[in-house]
Amino acid sequence: MNRILGICLLIAGCHVNVAGQCSSNADCTDPARCDTSQHVCVVPQDACYPFCPSGKACIAGTCQDTTSGACTPACPSDKACVNNSCQPVTQASVFLTSPVANDFVVATVQASAVAFAPGGVSSVRFELRSTAGAVLASATATAPVSGSSFAASIPLAGISVADGPAVIVAVVVYAGGSRESAPVSVNLDRTPPVINVAADTNWYARTLPGGAPNIIVVTVPITDAGSGVASAFLQVGTGPKIAGTFVSPNWQFQLDATQAAPGVEAPLAFTIGATDNVGNQATPVGGSRNVDDVAPLIAHVKVYLASLASPPTADGVTPPGSGSFLYTDNITISGELTDLGAGLAVSGAPPNPSYVLNGIGGSAVTVAIAGCTAAQTTKCTFSVTGSLRAATFLASSGTITLTVGADDLALSGDGVTPAHHHSVSTSLGIPVTRVKWSKTISALTSVSGLAIHPDGDVIAAGVGAAANSNTVIAVHPDGTIYWQVGTSWYANNSHLGQIDNAPSIGAGGNSAPIYVATVGQDLVAINPNPTTPVTPATARLWQCGLNAVGQAMHSTPAVATIT
């Protein structure tokens, strides 16, 4: 008996009572049994102690490898295939073949096992247990899939247990009792990925300046605390699903802005979907990006005299009563800019909204429009006043062309690079002249007098038969004015004609007009050029009609003396 007890203690792992003996099978480690006659734990004949590990079966008390051979047809569950031959098993055993250790499992656990038992296997029960050992769910296979292979699906629906670690155990049931496999650790993952589509206040151009589609980069955080995100997609409407790319720590998608309707400023809606590595699919989450395919609207452009008590109601050019602006006039250019999408570019690059004046001869000047601020990028009214004699207004005789331009703030797909739309207004013609007024006189009417402009111009006309009697002259280069009433006028020893009546000296500085008579016998007043004052060094000759003499009155045209 002492020898048997020693074997029990060293081999079977007996749990002896206080008297040093076992009283029931519960005191012994499986597969040892308590010999109640001897009160010792003994291993049954042909049993294997300890139990055979996975992949082996107990045959005649020895663990034999069942994975190296192949038997056709498959051996039944009371036999194991060893060395290509079906051998009767002498001890029940079972081991899981799936899932494997640390697998993630979802709403349904697909479990399989290989089970052997003397006399055959009655069933295999698959149990999902908590790490504390509590059975959370189970499923039983009562018939093998093939030979000694059993499988079942463990449904997890309705189980109120958090995702995380768990174990799978297979329990083989046979005529002699039951036996369970070694546990396999798994991870519960029934939660789909979390998608967080953030708002984006940028406005993107539908197409790039060269006409190519604008591809908007959409960056979205997608997380999964379990098995991890396997794939994600972006979809516009019922269109194709565009696969995303993981760029740590987020996912990025390419949104083709040409999927938005042309010619509108509106959000382009899309959805983002994702699937984790065990197949949990997130409900698609909606988002949008603003797409702008409309250039700024330029409206109600007006050009009028700044001296008007109130702006004209009509758009366009409102000239003074004479039909033309005098180039010394102060004029106002006003208008309204609107962009309900990306907004107006009012600072930085591109520059503020601007207008362009194209002068006669092709010279052009661009002037930035003041008045539009960062708080008025959707809509703003501009108004600028200046004199046509100023260099920026390109003083010219004829028609000056006005255009107004503006850019919006649309961006390319990276959200940084500008892809602005440029808008240009319809051209407006501004009539401009240096001639202040004119009056036609008859050929038999003489205009008498002499006008001297403060800038140094002396305008005169000869009367009589002298060779140069039709010539209007300016100051002599030596700066001396030569004249004599009623007699011939000599300048630099040259006879230039006869001047009638006493002269009149004008006043008024640079703004005073110069009065001359034209070949067509018109009496006109010409404004001086402030940038090129007439001096003795730049004296010029004007031709006037027969019997016409420069007007002496340097005041309003209505009081000019015509006899």
What tokens were used for 322?
């004479």
What tokens were used for 284?
């698609």
Residue 529: is its pLDDT beyond 60?
no
- pLDDT at position 453, please? 41
What tokens were used for 261?
């309707």
- DSSP annotation of 12: I
Cα–Cα dist 295/342, whole Å: 9
Cα–Cα dist 379/206, whole Å: 21
Judged by phi (left if over 0) then psi (alpha if -120 to 50, else beta), residue 506 lies in beta
- Tens of pLDDT, residue by residue over 484-502, are 222 332 333 333 333 333 2
Mean pLDDT confidence for 531-558: 34
- pLDDT at position 488, please? 32
Beta strands in 359-454 (DSSP E): 364-368, 379-387, 398-407, 422-424, 428-433, 435-440, 451-452
Whether 403 and 355 have beta carbons less than 8 Å apart is answered as yes
Residue 505: is its pLDDT beyond 50?
no
- pLDDT at position 390, please? 61
Select from 2.60.40, 1.10.10, 1.25.40, 3.30.70 the CATH code of 297-433: 2.60.40
Mean pLDDT confidence for 166-182: 96
Residue 547: is its pLDDT beyond 60?
no
- pLDDT at position 15, please? 44
Residues 6+ positions from 26 with CB-CB distance below 8 Å? 15, 34
Cα–Cα dist 160/136, whole Å: 9
Cα–Cα dist 122/140, whole Å: 10
Picking from 166-180, 255-269, 314-328, which range would have the lowest pLDDT averaged per residue? 314-328
- pLDDT at position 266, please? 97
Cα–Cα dist 476/472, whole Å: 12
Task: Say whether 8 sits in a helix, a strand or coil.
Answer: helix
Q: Which helix (H) or strand (E) holds 3?
A: helix 2-7
- Tens of pLDDT, residue by residue over 258-314, are 999 999 999 999 999 999 999 999 999 999 999 999 999 999 999 999 999 999 999
Residue 508: is its pLDDT beyond 50?
no
Cα–Cα dist 467/486, whole Å: 17
Mean pLDDT of the chain: 76
Residues 6+ positions from 144 with CB-CB distance below 8 Å? 76, 77, 121, 150
How many CB atoms sit inside 10 A of residue 155's CB? 13
What tokens were used for 241?
């699903």
Q: How confident is the model at residue 475 (pLDDT cuts 50, 70, 90)?
A: very low
Task: Say whether 356 sits in a helix, a strand or coil.
Answer: strand
Supply the CATH classification number for the domain 87-188: 2.60.40.10
Cα–Cα dist 377/335, whole Å: 15
Mean pLDDT confidence for 344-353: 71
- pLDDT at position 363, please? 64
Mean pLDDT confidence for 25-36: 84
Whether 470 and 546 have beta carbons less than 8 Å apart is answered as yes
Picking from 121-130, 282-291, 406-415, 511-520, which range would have the lowest pLDDT averaged per residue? 511-520
- pLDDT at position 326, please? 76
Count of CA atoms in the C-beta half-sphere (13 A) of 357: 25
Residue 351: is its pLDDT beyond 90?
no
Whether 253 and 265 have beta carbons less than 8 Å apart is answered as no
- pLDDT at position 44, please? 83
> Which of residues 57 and 349 earns the better pLDDT score?
57
Residues 6+ positions from 493 with CB-CB distance below 8 Å? none
Residues 6+ positions from 44 with CB-CB distance below 8 Å? 31, 33
Supply the pTM of this predicted model: 0.67
- pLDDT at position 38, please? 87
**Residues present in the chain in total:** 563
Mean pLDDT confidence for 409-437: 86
Whether 63 and 31 have beta carbons less than 8 Å apart is answered as no
Identity of the highest mean pLDDT range in 38-47, 57-66, 445-454: 57-66
- Tens of pLDDT, residue by residue over 135-150, are 999 999 999 999 999 9
For the chain, the straight-line distance linking the first and the last C-alpha, in angstroms and rounded, comes to 164
Q: Where in the chain is the domain with CATH 2.60.40.10?
A: 87-188, 194-292
- pLDDT at position 394, please? 56
How many CB atoms sit inside 10 A of residue 450's CB? 24
Cα–Cα dist 470/464, whole Å: 9
Cα–Cα dist 506/509, whole Å: 9
Mean pLDDT confidence for 215-226: 97
CATH 2.60.40.10 is held by the domain 194-292: yes
Picking from 228-232, 290-294, 444-448, 462-466, which range would have the lowest pLDDT averaged per residue? 462-466
Residue 533: is its pLDDT beyond 50?
no
Q: How confident is the model at residue 88 (pLDDT cuts 50, 70, 90)?
A: very high
Residue 440: is its pLDDT beyond 80?
no
Residues 6+ positions from 531 with CB-CB distance below 8 Å? 391, 395
- Tens of pLDDT, residue by residue over 365-381, are 777 776 677 767 888 88
- pLDDT at position 28, please? 85
Cα–Cα dist 16/22, whole Å: 5
Picking from 33-42, 70-79, 334-343, which range would have the lowest pLDDT averaged per residue? 33-42
* Spatial CA neighbour of 382 closest among 353, 425, 351: 353
Whether 202 and 411 have beta carbons less than 8 Å apart is answered as yes
Answer whether the bond into residue 503 is a cis peptide, omega within 30°.
no
**% of the chain with per-residue pLDDT over 70:** 69
Cα–Cα dist 300/303, whole Å: 10
